[in-house]
Amino acid sequence: MLTYALRFGALLLIAAAALSGASNVYEFTLNSIEGKPAPLAAYRGKVLLLVNVASYCGYTPQYQSLEALYEKYKERGLVVLGFPANNFGQQEPGSNAEIKDFCERTYHVKFPMYAKVSVDGADKTPLYQYLTSAMGGNIQWNFTKFLVARDGKLLKRFESPVEPDSTEVIGAIEAALGK
């Protein structure tokens, strides 16, 4: 019975994404880490770096580089968006309040954070259904990064080991931002 329910749930999520006909990330609304609806359309015209994050992962120190990128490029139009997820190794077990406190206290994160979501499996949030179907398949681990152009279209995907301050990521961000 549980297997049937999980399969049915997965089919509903896939159907919801297909029915949405999303053509860009601005068509999605998720809750902020404070629990309020936070449409991605609020970032229309910005370059976005969407990252599935976790507090207890070997890649968690990437928060520091993500915040540095945000601070360096926000005046030019870059917004880093964090999406906590507990899909891999139970590395994000806390509540949204605990996650927010950890990020602010440990890494001084000021970039926008969203409420905890699922980025993999039967309960994958529609945003991540869109991201993974459009670019590169399923998320393999925490700190996968998606670069989004000012028009809301996906530009590039960077896997977990690719550091946010790598020449590859910085080059792609600078190209997306333009002069």
Q: Is residue 32 within 8 Å of 116, Cβ to Cβ?
A: no
Q: pTM higher than 0.85 for the full model?
A: yes
Per-residue pLDDT of the chain (179 residues; tens, 9 = 90+): 444 444 444 334 344 444 446 899 999 999 999 999 999 999 999 999 999 999 999 999 999 999 999 999 999 999 999 999 999 999 999 999 999 999 999 999 999 999 999 999 999 999 999 999 999 899 999 999 999 999 999 999 999 999 999 999 999 999 999 96
Alpha-carbon distance 105 to 36, whole Å?
22
pLDDT at 12: 40
pLDDT at 7: 45
Query: Listing from the earlier edge strand, what are the strands of the sheet with 145-148?
Result: 78-84, 47-53, 145-148, 154-158
Two tokens, residue 48: 């976005």
**Other C-beta atoms within 10 Å of 36: how many?**
8
pLDDT at 17: 42
Can you list the domains of the chain with their CATH numbers?
2-177 (3.40.30.10)
Alpha-carbon distance 7 to 166, whole Å?
39
Q: Is 57 a catalytic residue?
A: yes
pLDDT at 22: 82
pLDDT at 4: 45
Kindly provide the residue ranges of all beta strands, DSSP E only, lying in 20-141, ordered along the sequence: 29-31, 37-39, 47-53, 78-84
pLDDT at 159: 97
pLDDT at 5: 41
pLDDT at 16: 43
Alpha-carbon distance 120 to 24, whole Å?
20
In the set 57, 68, 122, 134, the catalytic residue is: 57
Q: What are phi and psi of 29, to 5 degrees?
A: -125, 130
pLDDT at 146: 98
